[in-house]
Amino acid sequence: MNIEHFLTNASPSWMQHESESDIVISTRIRLARNIANTRFPISFTEEEAQVVEEKMMKVLLSTDVNPYQFSYFQIKDMPVLQRQILVEKHLISPNLARRKKIGSFFLTKDESISILVNEEDHIRIQSLTQGMNLKEAFKEARTIDRYLSKSINYAYEDRYGYLTSCPTNVGTGLRASVMLHLPALTMTKQMNALIQMMTRLGMVVRGIYGEGSENLGNIYQISNQITLGKSEETILHELQEVVEQVIQKEQLARKNLLMRAPSILEDRLSRALGTLKFAKILPSEEAASCLSNVRLGVSLGLLEPISQRKLNECMLLMQPGLIQQYIGTTLQPAERDMYRAKLLQDKLNEQDEAINNGEKGEDFL
């Protein structure tokens, strides 16, 4: 599988099911592992890095007993734009994308599993699934973990479990996260309190692009902070409980908004759709906010139906790297905003035709 497959595909197969709720977008599991008696990437030499790479290639690209089909890429061969797209698709981390020399990754064809090599730790197994699916995503990652452990001697100690470069990952090495769309809680300004509550419960809340990123389009990522002193089952169970509570709160907030200010809400959500349909220049913040409102409007039945899949694809495609990939050339920020507007209109109109069966959205012309 060449890299183009992963760059041009805006709707990988793991994203293609229609989920019942618009609140939970996706679930991600990450396992951090290191190889015994080898220094961590922060202090190792290029030779040591090479040894790690070779070990991983041997295990993951061999064909005799290997149940997986991975494609392998080295980060140093990649142009900046390609790296950016892979980060936007959550296939690699920003940290890996910034590397000049060391670092590589393995991807399965459906993009549901990626393995990062020589990032902060030697090995990071990542499994992505759609909707709320902690158990299944964990099972995927765990299966690969066991497969790797047959031929790789992990750095492990009875007391501290799996050893990692950062002590915030030591123990299980497990970071489970759920991506949530929480427009009503954001609008009613309940997120502050909620984030504080979740922090006290040992959860971390972040924006859409992971560490250090701001909340774009009312999308939050909730993940476990603690990796040591709790078992994998407990960690997953606790996260599940917290997320379920947040979903309930969001649903309640939506109900209240609909009850207290139905016309203001409908006006605002309709305006968002109007902006997406007719704006000629759309900066990413505005596009994300409009898409969030449209998503909410569709979910509440206030707007014409648009499939989750289409909206997810729009959310992904509106990012700077993917727009440039889609258009096929590098663009200045101002140009990007113009193409973003055009691209989103094309996408949304495509949908109209499919749903209205030929009556091409007369209401909107």
Partner 1 sequence: MICEHCKQRHANVTVTQVHNGQKVERHYCEVCATQFHPFQFDVSEEPTSLQQLISNWFNFVPVNAKKESTTKQTTNPKACPSCGFTYRQFLKQGKFGCGQCYETFSEQLPQLLERIQAGTQHVGYEKNAPSKEKVEQQINELRTLLHQAIAEERFEDAASIRDEVRELENKIKQEGEGNA
Q: Which amino acid is at 310?
A: K
- Of residues 287-316, which lie at the interface with partner 1 (CB under 8 A)? 289
> What percent of the residues of the chain are helix, what percent strand, and what percent coil, each to the nearest 5?
50, 15, 35
Q: How far apart are CA 152 and CA 60, in angstroms?
A: 11
- Of residues 22-41, which lie at the interface with partner 1 (CB under 8 A)? 34, 36-40
Count the residues of the shown chain that bind partner 1, applying the rule CB under 8 A. 67
Q: Which is nearer to partner 1, 107 or 344 (CB)?
A: 344
Determine the interface stretch with partner 1 among 18-26, 59-67, 186-194, 243-251 (rule: CB under 8 A).
Answer: 186-194
Q: Which is nearer to partner 1, 78 or 265 (CB)?
A: 265
Pick one of 227, 299, 308, 319: the residue that binds partner 1 (CB under 8 A). 227
Residue 154 CB, nearest approach to partner 1 (Å): 6
Whether residue 29 is annotated as binding a ligand: the answer is: yes
Q: How far apart are CA 295 and CA 272, in angstroms?
A: 10
By DSSP bridging, strand 156-157 and strand 161-162 are antiparallel
Residue 72 CB, nearest approach to partner 1 (Å): 25
Do 304 and 276 meet the contact criterion of CB atoms below 8 Å apart?
A: no
Residue 283 CB, nearest approach to partner 1 (Å): 6
**How buried is residue 2: exposed, middle or buried, by Cβ count under 10 Å (0-12/13-18/19+)?**
exposed
Q: How far apart are CA 123 and CA 28, in angstroms?
A: 16
Check binding of 267 to partner 1 (CB under 8 A): no
Binding mask 342-361 for partner 1 (x = CB under 8 A): --------------------
Q: How far apart are CA 3 and CA 12, in angstroms?
A: 14
Q: How far apart are CA 39 and CA 239, in angstroms?
A: 32
Check binding of 83 to partner 1 (CB under 8 A): no
Q: Which is nearer to partner 1, 15 or 116 (CB)?
A: 116
Residue 225 CB, nearest approach to partner 1 (Å): 8
Pick one of 172, 299, 308, 324: the residue that binds partner 1 (CB under 8 A). 172
Q: How far apart are CA 300 and CA 197, in angstroms?
A: 27
Whether residue 210 is annotated as binding a ligand: the answer is: yes
> Under DSSP, is residue 260 helix (H, G, I), strand (E, B) or coil?
helix
Q: How far apart are CA 327 and CA 319, in angstroms?
A: 12
Whether residue 197 is annotated as binding a ligand: the answer is: no
Helices 333-356, 320-327: axis angle to 10 degrees equals 80
Pick one of 283, 326, 327, 345: the residue that binds partner 1 (CB under 8 A). 283
Whether residue 178 is annotated as binding a ligand: the answer is: yes
Pick one of 12, 103, 131, 171: the residue that binds partner 1 (CB under 8 A). 171
Binding positions are 26-30, 90, 124, 175-179, 206-211
